[in-house]
Amino acid sequence: MVKMGHDEIRRVRFEPPSPGLGDIEVNTLRGIRDRGGPHEFLTSQRLDFDLLVQIERGAAVHTVDFDDHRLHPGDVLWVRSGQVHRWGTISEIEGPVVMFGPHSMAAHTRGLTRSDQVRPQSHWPAEDLAGTPTPAAFALLTRIAESGARGRNQLHQAALTHSLGVLLVELARAAAATRGAPAPGSTHEAYAWFLDHIEEHFRGWHKVVEYADRLGYSARTLNRLARQHTGLSAKGLIDERIVLEAKRLLSHADAPVWEIAEGLGFHDASNFSSYFTRQTGMTPGAFRSWSRGDQADVER
């Protein structure tokens, strides 16, 4: 693991450089470096948009929610909205970048590409994409973006949207093929609602029945759908989201444990500590030290 430091997580919002750009921007690594300046990529970021990068030249390590991804030419990286990521040596890599808002995709396409939303794949090595339509789909998207340099209209925006959908579906197909799993199918509507509600309410709602009451489904139905889509129980999905956020805050921020516990809906720090230790096998303090590379503190 790359040593993360303990700066606050910086939120980055999607702000297209021109009003007519819409909610899909195709740029390059050089372009976003020039626009952001030398200090933009030094700290941990939480994006409110999705980020796709295709590596054409160079190599770097990019960290997404505690997983280090070694990027090489031909690789594709996908950082989802809400994930916490940290750039490595961004000056040493080049390639196209796609940034898009959460509503850029049609609902059906979004459903097909979010079936692994609980543990989404972030990195596709070049060898996993060889022989698939993914590189051609990325090239088509960048070519369409270039064709609108002199002005965009509704047809051009539609071409961007559809080509982005093709690219994301091809990435999902490639991920399934690598795992030896069936191609992703449509996400059940109630499961999609459940995921959305977890994202919105996990800081206060820790019980399946709270989500079931709001959605109008039984806890049994939510458990069945959760296991069908992920292999986890409904409670397991809620716990994963709470623990992920706790890890992010412990690793990237200096707030005391009691404050993190309070922000995640626990009545006191001891309850949170017991819960976190049961879920991860580490105390919050030990995880904080480990995630920052302070191995001596972990071993004491």
Residue 170 buriedness (CB in 10 A; 0-12 / 13-18 / 19+): buried
What pLDDT does 4 receive? 39
d(CA 195, CA 185): 16
19/274: higher pLDDT:
274
Q: What CA–CA distance (Å, rounded) separates 51 from 221?
A: 33
Domains of the chain: 10-179 (2.60.120.280), 189-299 (1.10.10.60)
Q: What pLDDT, on the 0 to 100 scale, is given for residue 116?
A: 54
208-215 and 234-252 helices, crossing angle to 10°: 110
Say if residue 192's pLDDT is above 60: yes
Token pair 């459940």 is found at 194
Condensed to tens digits (0 to 9), the pLDDT of residues 159-173 reads 999 999 999 999 999
How many Cβ atoms sit within 10 Å of the Cβ of residue 275? 19
pLDDT in the model for residue 166 = 94
- Looking only at the bridges linking them, the beta strands covering 50-54 and 96-100 are antiparallel
User: Is the pLDDT score of 193 beyond 80?
Assistant: yes
| Distance between CA atoms of residues 133 and 153, nearest Å | 27
Residue 184 confidence (pLDDT) above 70: no
- State residue 64's pLDDT score: 95
Poorest-confidence range of 7-11, 67-71, 184-188, 245-249?
Answer: 184-188
User: Could you report the per-residue pLDDT of 75-98, keeping only the tens digit for each?
Assistant: 999 999 999 999 999 999 999 999
pTM, two decimals, is 0.84
Q: For residue 209, give both structure tokens.
A: 């029945």
When pLDDT is cut at 50, 70 and 90, the band that residue 226 belongs to is: very high
What pLDDT does residue 228 have? 87
Q: What are phi and psi of 64, to 5 degrees?
A: -125, 115
What is the per-residue pLDDT for 253? Answer: 87
Q: What pLDDT, on a 0 to 100 scale, did the predictor assign at position 31?
A: 94
Q: How many CA atoms lie within 13 A of 80 on its CB side?
A: 15
Predicted local distance difference test score (pLDDT) of residue 101? 87
Say which range, 5-9, 49-53, 130-134, 175-179, has the weakest mean pLDDT: 5-9
Report strand pairing: 10-12 vs 45-47. parallel
Mean pLDDT of 203-211: 97
Residue 156 confidence (pLDDT):
87
CB–CB of 94/30 below 8 Å? Answer: yes
In 3D space, the residue among 70, 67, 86 whose CA is nearest the CA of residue 7 turns out to be 86
pLDDT, mean over the chain: 88
> CA–CA separation, 199 vs 209, rounded Å?
16
pLDDT at position 107 over 90? no
